[in-house]
Amino acid sequence: MLPNREGQKVPKVAFRTRTDEGWLEVTTDQLFSGKTVVLFALPGAFTPTCSSKHVPRFNELASVFRQNGVDDILCLSVNDGFIMKAWKKDQDAENITFIPDGNGEFSEKMGLLVDKSQLGFGKRSWR
């Protein structure tokens, strides 16, 4: 079981996201400062369970989260901006902001980076 990190400050990280117009750098301050945010991390884009269960359910429950004061729902994965942009489109997840943690910097600073090299997956984020 992972340790309780309640009250831990969100590390300062810049995420290199991909938009239709090109690259956009988004910081943790922009994503979290002064907001109530639901962040869920998944080990990989396009993985079967993440794509069939996790992302659709968060997208479906977005209105419930918003009714309870949540400003944004973020899906983070250790994937690059191209992959996260394509995954969001594939999932038709208009209620979720997809965040690419391409180098795993955010996941590592949060203490949530796991090495799955023995499976050929490299470093991933815990769910």
Catalytic positions, written as ranges? 50
- Look at strands 14-19 and 123-125 and give their pairing: unpaired
Q: By the 8 A CB rule, do 81 and 16 touch?
A: yes
Locus of tokens 């750098």: 25
Length of the chain counted residue by residue: 127
Amino acid 62 reads A
Three-class SS state of 29:
helix
Secondary structure element (H or E) that encloses residue 63, with its range: helix 62-67
